[in-house]
């Protein structure tokens, strides 16, 4: 019996050690590396910024300027609240001292310059598919914005979800970093739209149902689901009759520019902010997104909970 207990303890220890290693943050580039500092284009970076919707979360709330990225916006979740940090170029309170490599690691690997995991409330699981050149241009753009002083509040997420190391296990299941490879059987616009939707645009982050661990359920990707707080419902945007089968490519592109829907209404809530970002893109990118969205196969919506 003693031997058996010793064996179990041994096994437990081995498991813990393996767990510790597999949960280790694995950055893409060495933190602080100078290797990506040349050739960024801030004007292109502005498009990346708008396609990525960074202002939706990082702009300081209760003021008009969406380029003041002082953070503080509260993202509620069933586990507690996350507060988007200051990503303005302020040297102490923002990311003014960051290298391009640090932003690449944050967006593609969900790892901070000090080597900790980020929470997926920052949609790095989707930004992981963004091109390194796009992230470099974005960094050059962010550096040109106004530095904002002040740090955001600390997250109020409770134990055990507040342990960053534990996110390593989560990432093994939910964080695919593979780049998006162009599909030669489709045209350039569709491929551009796919890239924008599946990486920067992060549409699936809201328009999908998730499993109990917060991972997107494949068969409900784009088929809608409860919002992050679990209070409202985000619509199905596939070609199902309960989705947007009756919207044309033009209707989708027009909504992304103006917020107006084909039935004469306009989108509200979180989508309102998405439209503010999308309105800053050029027509060709919005048309590309619309063409890709229109190609989604029809998917049944996930079951809605009974209204209480
Ligand atoms: C849905 C909301 C949301 C969006 C959209 C978003 N972020 Fe964030 N971001 C967060 C949250 C929340 C954190 C904090 C994560 C943590 O503490 O683990 C964060 C963290 C960061 C950090 C780390 C800052 C630090 O001090 O360590 C950077 C850099 C960042 N985001 C950049 C961006 C960029 C660039 C974009 C647009 C491409 C973007 N974010 C879009 C919510 C968002
Ligand atoms: C931050 C969460 C969020 C993100 C990101 C997001 N959406 Fe939405 N979207 C919503 C919500 C919420 C609604 C419902 C708005 C309403 O009730 O008026 C919506 C509505 C829509 C609609 C209208 C559906 C209908 O039946 O009326 C379309 C189309 C749409 N989104 C497409 C997109 C595309 C394309 C993207 C990516 C570029 C995207 N959304 C990104 C939250 C989001």
The whole-number pLDDT of residue 98 equals: 98
The whole-number pLDDT of residue 307 equals: 61
Q: Give the integer Cα–Cα distance in Å for 217 and 78.
A: 18
Whether 162 lines ligand 1, by a CB cut-off of 6 Å, is no
Asked whether 57 and 123 are in contact (CB, 8 A), the reply is no
Ligand at shortest distance from the CA of 274 = 2
CB-CB neighbours of 246 under 10 Å: 10
Q: What is the pLDDT of residues 107-157, one digit of tens each?
A: 999 999 999 999 999 999 999 999 999 999 999 999 999 999 999 999 999
Asked whether 77 and 121 are in contact (CB, 8 A), the reply is yes
Ligand at shortest distance from the CA of 289 = 2
The whole-number pLDDT of residue 54 equals: 98
Cα angle vertex 137, ends 136, 143, to 5°? 90
Q: How many whole angstroms from 122 Cα to the centroid of ligand 1?
A: 5
Whether 142 lines ligand 2, by a CB cut-off of 6 Å, is no
Closest residue CA from atom 32 of ligand 2: 237
Ligand at shortest distance from the CA of 81 = 1
Choice among 92-96, 112-116, 228-232, 258-262 with the minimum mean pLDDT: 228-232
Whether 54 lines ligand 1, by a CB cut-off of 6 Å, is yes
Q: What is the pLDDT of residues 255-300, one digit of tens each?
A: 999 999 999 999 999 999 999 999 999 999 999 999 999 999 999 9
The pick from 77, 207, 252, 258 for probing ligand 2's pocket by mutation, whose C-beta has the most ligand atoms within 8 angstroms, reads 207
Choice among 35-49, 116-130, 164-178, 212-226 with the minimum mean pLDDT: 164-178
Average pLDDT, the chain: 93
Kindly give the number of the ligand 1 atom that is closest to the alpha carbon of 54: 37
Q: How many whole angstroms from 271 Cα to the centroid of ligand 2?
A: 5
């Amino acid at each position: 019996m003693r031997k058996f207990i010793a064996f179990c303890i041994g096994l437990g220890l081995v498991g813990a050690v393996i767990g510790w290693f597999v949960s280790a943050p694995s950055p893409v580039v060495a933190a602080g590396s100078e290797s990506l500092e040349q050739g960024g284009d801030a004007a292109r970076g502005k498009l990346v910024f708008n396609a990525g919707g960074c202002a939706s979360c990082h702009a300081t709330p209760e003021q008009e300027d969406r380029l003041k990225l002082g953070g503080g916006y509260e993202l509620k979740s069933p586990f507690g609240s996350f507060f988007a940090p200051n990503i303005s170029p302020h040297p102490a309170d923002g990311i003014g001292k960051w290298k391009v490599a640090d932003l690449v690691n944050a967006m593609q690997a969900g790892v901070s310059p000090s080597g900790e995991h980020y929470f997926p409330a920052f949609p790095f699981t989707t930004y992981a598919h963004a091109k390194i050149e796009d992230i470099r241009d974005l960094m050059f753009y962010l550096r040109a914005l106004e530095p904002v002083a002040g740090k955001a509040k600390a997250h109020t997420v409770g134990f055990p979800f507040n342990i960053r190391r534990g996110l390593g296990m989560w990432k093994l299941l939910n964080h695919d970093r593979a780049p998006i490879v162009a599909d030669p059987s489709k045209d350039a616009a569709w491929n551009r739209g796919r890239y924008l939707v599946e990486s920067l645009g992060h549409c699936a982050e809201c328009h999908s149902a998730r499993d109990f661990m917060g991972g997107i359920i494949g068969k409900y990707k784009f088929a809608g689901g409860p919002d992050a707080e679990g209070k409202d419902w985000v619509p199905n945007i596939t070609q199902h009759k309960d989705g947007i089968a009756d919207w044309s490519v033009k209707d989708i592109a027009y909504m992304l520019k103006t917020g107006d829907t084909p039935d004469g209404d306009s989108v509200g809530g979180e989508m309102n902010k998405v439209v503010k970002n999308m309105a800053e893109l050029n027509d060709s990118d919005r048309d590309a997104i619309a063409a890709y969205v229109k190609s989604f196969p029809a998917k049944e919506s996930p079951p809605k909970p009974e209204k209480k």
